[in-house]
Amino acid sequence: MPPSRTISELLFADPAPPTDHAVTRLGRDDRPELVLRRGELLREVERVARSLHDGGFAGRPVLIPERNGIEYVVGFLACLRAGCMAVTAHPPRAGGGGARLAAIVRNSRPAAVLATPGILETIDRVAPELLVGVDRLSYEAPAVPVAKADGPAVEPVIDDSLAWPDPEAVGLLQYTSGSTRDPAPVAITQGNLLANGIAMRDLFSREGRSGGTVCWMPLYHDMGLIGLMISSLLVKIPFHLMEPEAFAMRPIRWLRAMSNTRASYSGGPCFAYDLCVSRTTEEDRAGLDLSNWRFAFNGAEPIKPESLAQFQRTFGPRGFRGMMPCYGLAEHTLLVSVRREGEPIRYRIADRTALDQGRLAVDRTIEIDESTTVEHEPGKIGVVACGPGIPDHEIVVRDPSSGQRLEEGRIGEVTLRGPSVASGYHGRDELTADTFPPVLGGDPGPWLRTGDLGAMFEGDLHVLGRLKDLMIVDGRNVHPADVEATLESAHPSVDGGRIAVFAVGDVLAGESETIAVVVELGRAVHRDWRRDPDAVTRGMEGLFGDLRGTASAVHGIRLSRIVVVGPGGIPRTTSGKIRRAATRDALAAGDLQVLHEEDSRC
């Protein structure tokens, strides 16, 4: 058989035993409740793909507005098999949440929507005009209770009359870029999905480990869909699904699911690991066994050395050894670089002054284990190593202006080349031309300009923030993520990860560029301050003073404006990462629900 060119081909060419559990839904006890075995999964994919093909939807967008469930998995794989462009999205809720879905529908113009009857009913109730003129395909997966999943094997049969999809065709429109009103969908080809999926499969299955995957990340986000779902199917291990809300309400449920299922693979953004530390107790942790968890990817936002060390100290006694700092983005399908198994978790102690001058000047390297306490002298900063690039792909750090390659240790724009680089942005030709140049710095591409700042050191990529977020203060480069990390510990009311720093002021209009910070209070502090007006007055005075003093002492910068908002007040991406530009725009438009403010510009 010739080499597989798409995910669909590979699933049939390299099958797992048909009685193996492919996808399960976790119940309230954080154990598998419903299951679809491997044979039934592939049979359902062929059946639904045939319906999509016969309906004339091949090559056209098909919306999948589902919650984390078995139907999502079948629907997405069926779209790939039929040659459709899958458009993944979260359904609206009765209380709202329809604005993003409406924008996705306007932008993608789906020919059909594939969802369960309950989801279709919800959309009709809360957004009755949303799907006018869109064909509806109702689907429910034939999942069974785990206790009854011992019937005879179902051998999947390939529908020979259904052609395999073209690897150059767009298989997924991934809505992770752009604003809610004007989304910029990344057009990911069938070949992109296979290339990134195989890279993850080969890195993850190197030791042939047993176990499965637990996923609380939403499947409409690339970390859940590609990083967990596709990789699990290719590695041939069970894929255990839980709702994102279950994790958000009680982070211990993620850890219990990992322990109960003996899963070896999972992950999420850095804030998720912080929540597991801050919102679990010793009593919660007492019964956990995380010794099988060997691949815990950590990415999607700046990774803090303190977070890695805290999680390892807290859960190392429960057997955890698998933290995998990584870097990825939708425009590269997902994964770009990751720590390799067998290598230590590293962060570099670097000179802050050199960083401001565009150099990653490393004083020493720290290897994180259960005994690590993150400390560094004044004038130094800790930068996490995100590992080397994935095989058969290239990472080049370049001067953002000239596009020329920079030597090791120089900070510049991270650019990428390889089979995972997406074909562009769907319907956004100008943005595609800017982001995916065919030639860059004289090197033939296509290349992906990530817009991220980074540096290579000893073979590892180090990500330092967004190019467009960079602030210039007295001729120095000031990185918002660096300032945010410092200010998070400036005052007790600042809950880690809930602060946004950015430049304000229209320079072209003659205004001076100054630095503003938006602080999102933690829920406990917000609740206490609402009960005690005097505490608010005292707290605000201390908060404003500590933030200004810390920013000045550590970074040599002056905060011109400090804005305080309540829990949930700072805009975030679907993965929970703070959106600085959106926060700045919302502040300028008066859309933030401001609780308190101190503005020294007045």
Phi, psi of 342 (to 5 degrees): 90, -15
Question: E strands of 277-426, at which residues?
Answer: 295-299, 323-328, 335-338, 345-351, 362-368, 380-384, 394-398, 412-417, 424-425
Q: In the sheet where 494-504 sits, what is the strand order?
A: 494-504, 514-521, 559-565, 594-599
Give dist(CA 452, CA 120) in Å, integer. Answer: 39
pLDDT of residue 177: 56
- Residue 407 neighbours by CB distance under 10 Å: 9
State in Å, rounded, how far the first CA of the chain is from the last one: 72
Report angle CA 111, 115, 120 to the nearest 5 degrees: 90
Which helix (H) or strand (E) covers residue 185, if one does?
A: strand 183-189
User: Residue 473, SS3?
Assistant: strand
- Burial class of residue 15 in the structure, from the number of CB atoms within 10 Å of its CB (0-12 exposed, 13-18 middle, 19+ buried): middle
Give me the residues of the chain with pLDDT under 70, please: 1, 94-97, 177-182, 206-210, 472, 474-477, 495-497, 505-513, 574-575, 601-602
Give dist(CA 291, CA 587) in Å, integer. Answer: 45
Taking each helix axis from N to C end, the angle separating 38-54 and 70-82, rounded to the nearest 10 degrees, works out to 50
Separation in Å, CA 242 to CA 137, 155, 239, 339, 375: 24, 28, 10, 26, 36
* Residues 171, 193 contacting (CB under 8 angstroms): yes
pLDDT of residue 511: 47
146 secondary structure, DSSP code = G
Give dist(CA 334, CA 196) in Å, integer. Answer: 7
pLDDT of residue 209: 57
* Residues 94, 126 contacting (CB under 8 angstroms): yes
* Residues 246, 297 contacting (CB under 8 angstroms): no
CA 498 to chain centre: 17
pLDDT of residue 508: 31
Q: Cis ω on the peptide bond leading into residue 446 (within 30° of 0)? A: yes
Q: Using one digit for the tens of pLDDT, what is the confidence trace for 549-577?
A: 888 888 888 899 999 998 889 998 766 77
pLDDT of residue 475: 57
Phi, psi of 23 (to 5 degrees): -135, 135
Name residue, tokens 């999926």. 197
- Burial class of residue 327 in the structure, from the number of CB atoms within 10 Å of its CB (0-12 exposed, 13-18 middle, 19+ buried): buried
Residues in the chain: 602
pLDDT of residue 489: 81
pLDDT of residue 114: 98
Which helix (H) or strand (E) covers residue 497, if one does?
A: strand 494-504
User: Residue 435, SS3?
Assistant: helix
Instruction: Give the domains, in start order, of the chain with CATH numbers.
Output: 7-244 (3.40.50.12780), 250-466 (3.40.50.12780), 470-599 (3.30.300.30)
Structure tokens at 274: 């912080």
- Burial class of residue 94 in the structure, from the number of CB atoms within 10 Å of its CB (0-12 exposed, 13-18 middle, 19+ buried): exposed
Each residue of 472-494: b (16+ CB within 10 Å) or e?
Answer: ebeebbbbbbbbbbbbbebbebb
Give dist(CA 174, CA 87) in Å, integer. Answer: 7
Give dist(CA 424, CA 60) in Å, integer. Answer: 17
Q: 97 in the Ramachandran plot: left (φ > 0), alpha (ψ -120 to 50) or beta?
A: left
Name residue, tokens 């319907």. 427
* Residues 562, 540 contacting (CB under 8 angstroms): no
> Which among 305, 358, 304 is positioned nearest to 479, based on CA atoms?
358
